[in-house]
Amino acid sequence: LSEHRDLAICYAMKQEMTRLFTLTDYEEALAGWTKWIQAGLESGIPALVKFARQKQKRIKGLAAHALYPINTGKLEGFNNKIEVLKRIGYGYRNMDYFFTLIRFHSLPKNYSSPKFP
């Protein structure tokens, strides 16, 4: 373990960061992030020190995640879906068809079409 000291520290810091994102109390999150950043700065690992400095500038936003646990995952996923559809629809001259294709693929998967007699 002594040969891989830096790796073990980084892994422990990653585990602690994951725990910090699950907190729901702002004060506890702020204290946890402050402690995490201090440990990162004192680690002596250049990449971790740089990362901790970047997080230090955004500590209030990181702690605010405890109150407002939002992310951009769905938005990024939808943007990716549009990019894939753009590649699929390459060569079509009708932009209305392209936007219809996006609307169709943005419907929920459990969407059932109306029953026709």
Phi, psi (deg, nearest 5) at residue 100: -65, -40
Q: Mean pLDDT in runs of 10 for the chain (117 residues)?
A: 83 94 94 96 93 95 91 88 86 82 80 56
Quote the CA–CA distance of 30 and 35 in Å, as a whole number. Answer: 9
Whether pTM exceeds 0.85: no
| CB contact burial 66-97 (16+ within 10 A = b; e otherwise) | beeeeeeeeeeeeeeeeeebeeeeeeeeeeee
Enumerate the domain spans of the chain: 2-64, 73-105
